[in-house]
């Protein structure tokens, strides 16, 4: 079947056409052919100036991620025919949230730098090095170990889009790989660093990373694991953790979220003033419960019972550990 591919071309060094443009190629697509195979066919038979990255062609090296019909995908395990019949087109562009270098190739330097920033290697102490990894321990870090560093998650991350310094999902998932490892000796230090600005608390939980990850890493889940580990470790002196604390507080007191009070707790009084315009806007939209008269829900006792229960089991677990 003949299918038209629209490919974003870009070569800033081409004096005749330094700006990006779209070029169409028609490819004779056979059953089972992947997008990467189609690109290879184009470069071998029609236009060898087309640049893109590729290597394993079996979804394990992470080279070939691109934007296909608007979404970050690995191109080597994506079949053309089903994709085309679902989307009605074949538009290939470089990954979003990354600077295009040439055609479908993007600058991965910021991606690798983010990885390096989380010290992506095991740092055991003499004592923790002795801990053997059981099957259950492995389970905890298994998802985070599956990452192939393809950057699909970062390409679709909403927080990264507005803050290029955000550590972003791939590196955060990698960070959990070590924090969650029973042999790691500096977990708390890591958590403290990850709790700083641009760190784990800057994720807005849009869940795109988990949705677009081709390897089931579920970065958001690893971020949540990091967050609860940080809270457990008592690393609370940051807006993110305070926000969660406030949330828990509010639920315990009123059985529901008191968003205005939470903003105060999270950011402190002065900072919270800066947030008032947003509050007013929310008010206008009828989205904000009145800040001073927060009604308790009925049967608040039940909610408090739940909290007590949680604390009891937690205390029990601690005792068992000792």
Partner 1 sequence: MVGAGLAGMRAAIEAARSGLDVAIVSKIYPVRSHSVAAQGGINAAMKATDSWEAHMFDTVKGSDYLGDQDAIEVMCRQAPSDILELEKMGAVFSRDSEGNIAQRPFGGAGYPRTCYLADRTGHGMLHVMYEQLLKHGVFIYDEWHVLKLVVEDGSARGLIAIELDTGKLHRLHSKSVIIATGGYGRVYRTTTNALSSTGDGMGLALDAGLALMDMEFVQFHPTVLARTGILMTEGARGEGGFLLNSKGERFMEKYAPKVKELASRDVVSRAEQTEIEEGRGVDGCVLLDLRHLGAEKIKSKLSQIRALAIDFAGVDPVTSPVPVKPGHHYSMGGIATDKDGRTAIPGLFTAGESACVSVHGANRLGGNSLLETIVFGRRAGTSASEYCKTTEAKPFPESALKDACHSVATILKREEGESIFAIKKGMNDAMEDFCGIFRNKDRLAKGYEKIKELRERYKKAALVDRSDYFNNELLHYLELGQMLDISECILLGAMNREESRGSHFRTDFPKRDDEKWLKHTLAFKENGEFRLDYRDVSVTKFKPEERKY
- Residue from 123, 207, 257, 267 that binds ligand SF4 (CB under 6 A)? 207
Query: Residue 37 CB, nearest distance to ligand SF4 (Å)?
Result: 21
Task: Select from 59, 206, 255 the least CA-distant residue to 146.
Answer: 59
Angle of helix 135-145 versus helix 219-232 axis, rounded to 10: 130
Beta bridge partners of residue 27, listed in sequence order: 3
Binding-site partner at residue 203 among ligand FES, partner 1, ligand SF4, none, CB < 5 to 8 Å by type:
ligand SF4
If 0-12 CB within 10 Å is exposed, 13-18 middle and 19+ buried, where does residue 266 land? Answer: buried
Residues 231, 188 contacting (CB under 8 angstroms): no
Of residues 214 through 273, those in contact with partner 1 by CB under 8 A are none
Q: Does 11 bind partner 1 (CB under 8 A)?
A: yes
Q: What's the maximum distance between 2 C-alpha atoms anywhere in the chain?
A: 73
**Cα 36–chain centre separation:** 25
Q: Please, what is the minimum distance in Å from the beta carbon of residue 31 to ligand FES?
A: 20
Single residue of 1, 133, 273, 316 touching partner 1 by CB under 8 A: 133
Q: What is the Cα–Cα distance from 258 to 264, expressed in whole angstroms?
A: 10
Checking phi first, is residue 286 left (phi over 0); if not, alpha (psi -120 to 50) or beta? left
Per CB under 6 A, the list member of 73, 208, 227, 242 interacting with ligand SF4 is 208
What is the pattern of x (binds ligand SF4, CB under 6 A) and - over residues 138-167?
---------xxxxxxx---xxx--------
What does 42 interact with, of ligand FES, ligand SF4, partner 1, none (CB < 5 to 8 A by kind)?
none
**Which of 309-317's residues contact partners 24+ apart within 8 Å by CB, and which partners?**
none
What track of x and - describes contact with partner 1 for positions 168 through 207 (by CB under 8 A)? ----------x--x-x------------------------
How many angstroms separate the CA atoms of 244 and 251, rounded? 11
The DSSP symbol for 117 reads H
Site string for partner 1, 18-57 (x = CB under 8 A): --------------x-x-----x--xxx-xxx-xxxxxxx
For residue 66, which of 85, 81, 52 has the smallest C-alpha distance?
52
Q: Is 79 in the site for partner 1 (CB under 8 A)?
A: yes
Q: Is 156 exposed, middle or buried (0-12, 13-18, 19+ CB in 10 A)?
A: buried
Q: Does 60 bind partner 1 (CB under 8 A)?
A: yes
Look at strands 91-93 and 2-9 and give their pairing.
Answer: parallel
Closest CB to ligand FES among residues 95, 200: 95
Q: Report how far residue 171's alpha carbon sits from residue 117's, in angstroms, rounded to the nearest whole number.
A: 8
According to the binding rule CB under 8 A, does residue 8 interact with partner 1?
no
Binds 125: which of ligand SF4, ligand FES, partner 1, none (CB < 5-8 Å by kind): none
Q: Is 5 helix (H, G, I), strand (E, B) or coil?
A: strand
Residues in contact with ligand FES by CB under 6 A are 54-57, 59-64, 74, 76
| Local structure of 92: helix, strand or coil | strand
- Interface with partner 1, residue 134, by CB under 8 A: yes
Site for ligand SF4 in 223-242 (CB under 6 A): 223
Q: Which residues of the chain form contacts with ligand SF4 (CB under 6 A)? A: 147-153, 157-159, 169-170, 173, 203-209, 213, 215, 217, 219-220, 223
Q: Which residues of the chain form contacts with partner 1 (CB under 8 A)? A: 11, 13-14, 32, 34, 40, 43-45, 47-49, 51-63, 77, 79, 101-103, 105, 108, 112, 115-116, 120-122, 129, 132-135, 138, 141, 145-149, 178, 181, 183
């Amino acid at each position: 079947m003949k299918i038209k591919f629209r490919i974003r071309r870009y070569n800033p060094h081409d004096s005749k056409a330094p700006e990006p443009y779209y070029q169409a190629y028609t490819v004779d697509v056979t059953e089972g052919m992947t997008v990467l195979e189609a690109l290879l066919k184009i470069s071998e038979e029609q236009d060898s100036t087309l640049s893109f990255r590729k290597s394993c062609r079996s979804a394990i090296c992470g080279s070939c991620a691109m934007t296909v019909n608007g979404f970050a995908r690995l191109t080597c395990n994506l079949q053309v025919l089903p994709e085309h019949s679902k989307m009605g087109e074949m538009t290939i562009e470089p990954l979003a949230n990354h600077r295009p270098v040439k055609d479908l190739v993007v600058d991965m330097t910021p991606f690798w730098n983010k990885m390096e920033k989380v010290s992506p290697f095991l740092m055991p102490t003499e004592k923790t090095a002795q801990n053997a990894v059981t099957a259950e321990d492995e389970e905890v870090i298994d998802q985070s170990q599956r990452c192939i560093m393809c950057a699909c998650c970062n390409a679709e991350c909403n927080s990264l889009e507005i803050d290029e310094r955000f550590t972003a999902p791939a590196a955060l998932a990698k960070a959990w790989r070590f924090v969650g490892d029973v042999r790691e000796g500096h977990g708390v230090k890591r958590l403290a660093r990850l709790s700083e600005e641009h760190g784990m608390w800057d994720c807005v939980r849009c869940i795109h990373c988990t949705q677009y990850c081709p390897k089931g890493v579920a970065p958001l889940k690893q971020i949540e694991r990091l967050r609860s580990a940080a809270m457990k470790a008592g690393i609370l002196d940051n807006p993110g953790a305070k926000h969660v604390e406030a949330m828990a507080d509010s639920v315990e007191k009123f059985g529901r979220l008191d968003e205005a009070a939470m903003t105060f707790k999270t950011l402190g009084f002065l900072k919270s003033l800066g947030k008032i315009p947003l509050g007013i806007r929310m008010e206008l939209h009828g989205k904000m419960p009145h800040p001073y008269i927060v009604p308790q829900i009925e049967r608040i006792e039940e909610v408090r019972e739940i909290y007590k229960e949680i604390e009891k089991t937690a205390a029990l677990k601690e005792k068992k550990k000792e």
